[in-house]
Amino acid sequence: MTAATPISPIPVAPAGLTRRAKHFVEVEGIRVPQQGIGRHRNAWTEHGIPAAEIDRATAFEDRWGGLALPPAPFYEGGPRILEADVPEGSAAEGWWIPAGDGRVSMAYGFMIGPGGEFGIHGSRWAPLHAGTDGWVESLALAAHARRWATTITRITGTAVDCLNLDGYEQVPEVQGLADTWWRGSDSLIALYRGEAIGLDAPQCLEAHVYGGLDEWGLHGG
């Protein structure tokens, strides 16, 4: 019997990411071997999981499965490894696909929503980004901003709503929904609203302001 070819731990970034995110995935990420979820298809089908939802989970696994990235600056670091699991939900409510276990015990799980959104599901659903690409782009941008900023300011609670975003433009590649990034003349601002929405907890609002950035620091690819 021919031995299976070992999978390289160095990931290849999927198509469609910015140069900054591609570099982040391939330099900072690790690819962990996965058994694949195809072996579960028959069992999931017998338990009433629609074929379309199994296909969605498989597509997520094919693109992102087994990718371990450095911790996110919020959500206690995000999923330890991106990996799909059995879809949860119903025809009436919609279906969510687990996107990977958290690094610590949390009051919510990381999910792919009915429309492909990447988000958290706690007391209620809070889509953070329009897709997993946006989540990965946000991680890459945070890592870049931390490296090049001369100042980093953390703002919490209701003070977040007092931030003046006049003159800032929303960063499109992060596909922001509950969470957004904003680019100014010399700073980047990350707004994290997911926990406030998903846990119905306004005190969990948080913003990170990365100041003192030059043109490279503002974009980085």
Quote the CA–CA distance of 178 and 75 in Å, as a whole number: 13
78 and 187 housed in the same domain: no
- Looking at the domain assignment, is residue 123 inside a domain? yes
- Looking at the domain assignment, is residue 35 inside a domain? yes
Quote the CA–CA distance of 152 and 162 in Å, as a whole number: 17
CA dihedral (104, 106, 108, 109) in degrees, to 10, reads 10
Quote the CA–CA distance of 33 and 106 in Å, as a whole number: 25
User: What does the DSSP assignment read for 109-160?
Assistant: EEEE-TTS-EEEESSSEEEEESSHHHHHHHHHHHHHHHHH-SEEEEEEGGGG
For each of the chain's 221 residues, which pLDDT tens digit applies?
444 456 678 899 999 999 999 999 999 999 998 878 888 899 999 989 999 999 999 999 999 999 999 999 999 999 999 999 999 999 999 999 999 999 999 999 999 999 999 999 988 999 999 999 999 999 999 999 999 999 999 999 999 999 999 999 999 999 999 999 999 999 999 999 999 999 999 999 999 999 999 999 999 87
Residue where a domain terminates, one of 104, 136, 168: 136
Closest CA to 121 of 129, 131, 111: 111
35 and 121 housed in the same domain: yes
152 and 206 housed in the same domain: yes
Residue where a domain terminates, one of 114, 136, 158: 136
Structural domain count of the chain: 2
37 and 68 housed in the same domain: yes
30 and 50 housed in the same domain: yes
Provide the residue range defining the domain that includes 58. Answer: 19-136
Quote the CA–CA distance of 154 and 81 in Å, as a whole number: 26
